[in-house]
Structure 1
């Protein structure tokens, strides 16, 4: 029951080896819905800088961090939230964090149109290294996301460009930096940093520090997904479950902080374009596992754009902001 590790160098470089890589990814998606990736080509010093500036940011006092509070981000839904400011399944998470997305100027068409989740990011003032590091990391992860989606297309026996042609040529990319304070007791006593859930979109690419604490539910059994140096954890979201008619299932997971210190986590979400209508690949059979899902909801009953789906979910995470944005 160990989550597989896949070397994706063949995908990143575009060599013939990408077909063997895609086969391994497909097997991991069918058996686990989670897999580690190595050979991704993301610069280690960049990752180290990201971790350093993140620890520095969260070490500041609350008032300083609230200078980039999400309430200031408006419809772009960007910025900082304090511990307990985000909900999962209606319960406050034991984490604080910062929301980012693609950096878009005010004159960008979707921004001018007032499209939610589009716009400029909020960055601490007078700290150019923080902004530069975050944007460089997001650019690197976007490249990895494109390579992985090509591999997922091949793993399903589709044209390599299947997802890019229909959904991800201009993807909706969202990035989070989370800090989980050291808990006062066990997860049963103090609660989980994030409770059981599945992700909304296509693909999540996660960098975690060395604290551990990520747990994945495989065949009704919780298993650990411990950190592996210079590896990312990837998992399927609800929209890939829907697109593949349940062939690849989005897998529940949860987080707690087992360390006696703060825990950092960096999830990057590579998702369909906001206006893309998400339609399943024609397989003839739909594996609707809603009875086994953590929320008993069917991702296959949904109709509409990815933006519709995302807003219906995210507005439950920040109910206070919902009235201002929707």
Structure 2
């Protein structure tokens, strides 16, 4: 493998935080300790592992098993649920090389999902982008498992955002009251196959360097690994730790905190393990229509514009408006062939 990690930086520099006290919510001192750990993690790395999260292990195992059954189908069958069929809902399957990062195809395939909305929901009737019905593969139990998992991890997201609010010395309900009473939930199931890349494709990574768009990403990894995080000391492996999720903050939280918390670049190396690698990121984001504003009273960062060193040279702090505008600008670059359908 040609991609390397700085040997002088340990993957264990990404902290593991037991959030059980936040979930129990019955010990103010323990909850404050967790909030302080989250603060330190967000200030130093923007990434941290979460243990003690309470998400059912049997549910996780079932999601993994059924996802592997789906990706084991031949391409023609999987294309029955292709994203083009979902139009503005931005849901469904995309094949290997079908998603771009910085204009280059990623070497993965995936299934895009989100909050399930009925055809007569007002947002669906209004043709609101990235809202609608999911295209669930007809594997027995898969639909129910996906919905149960999204519900469980969304509940965890609310708890973690309370912890992040407390880490900023804000009321625990700060984000809920302003942004996440009805969060935009986008869920992905990715498969990184262990196979050679065709010579006609310009592929270097499983996923190229990028930052996430919204507030908080909650990622379930399998045992193979491949995620790398950019730190001041170099790229480090986010080695899978059984029983944990790995979380990272997104561009909107950096924008809200004025750069006090940074949205950290990360990437995924191509899988050469000999076994398919699965990952399950859930993006816990502001409501599509929420207006994003800086948080008053936080420590001032002298020059929060880090566009010169960002992967996309974008200035997150120049953004004003609703979150949906920011998201759609990113969508049009990730799936340019779907741009007209989504926008």
User: Does TM, normalized by the shorter one, top 0.5?
Assistant: yes
Q: 1:296 deviation in Å?
A: 1.5
**Residue 12 of structure 1 pairs with residue 23 of structure 2:** yes
| Deviation by residue 1:206-240 (Cα, 9 ceiling, x = unmatched) | 00100111100001510000000010000010000
* Separation in 2, partners of 1:8, 1:272: 22
What's the RMSD between the two structures over aligned residues?
A: 1.3
Q: TM-score, normalising length from structure 1?
A: 0.96
* Separation in 2, partners of 1:66, 1:200: 27
Counterpart in the other structure of 1:149: 161
* Pick aligned residue for 1:26 from 33, 39, 59: 39
1:103-114 matches, cutoff 5 A: 103-114=116-127
* Separation in 2, partners of 1:302, 1:323: 23
Q: 1:325 deviation in Å?
A: 2.1
| SS of alignment partner, residue 22 of structure 1 | helix
**Residue 273 of structure 1 pairs with residue 268 of structure 2:** no
| SS of alignment partner, residue 27 of structure 1 | helix
Q: TM-score, normalising length from structure 2?
A: 0.92
Counterpart in the other structure of 1:260: 274
* Separation in 2, partners of 1:190, 1:109: 40
1:1-326 matches, cutoff 5 A: 1=10, 2-15=13-26, 16=28, 17-125=30-138, 127-184=139-196, 191-219=204-232, 221-256=234-269, 257-282=271-296, 283=298, 285-286=300-301, 287-326=304-343
* Separation in 2, partners of 1:7, 1:284: 26
* Separation in 2, partners of 1:285, 1:229: 37
* Separation in 2, partners of 1:222, 1:37: 20
2:225, 2:238 within 8 Å by CA — same for their partners in 1?
yes
Q: 1:92 deviation in Å?
A: 0.4
Alpha carbons of structure 1 residues 220 and 291: separation in structure 2 relative to 1, 3 Å: farther
Q: 1:288 deviation in Å?
A: 2.1
1:6, 1:24 within 8 Å by CA — same for their partners in 2?
yes
* Separation in 1, partners of 2:335, 2:196: 25
For structure 1, which runs of at least 5 residues remain unmatched after alignment? Answer: none
| Deviation by residue 1:148-201 (Cα, 9 ceiling, x = unmatched) | 00000000010111000000010000000000011439xxx9621000000001
For structure 2, which runs of at least 5 residues remain unmatched after alignment? Answer: 1-9
The number of residue pairs the alignment matches comes to 322
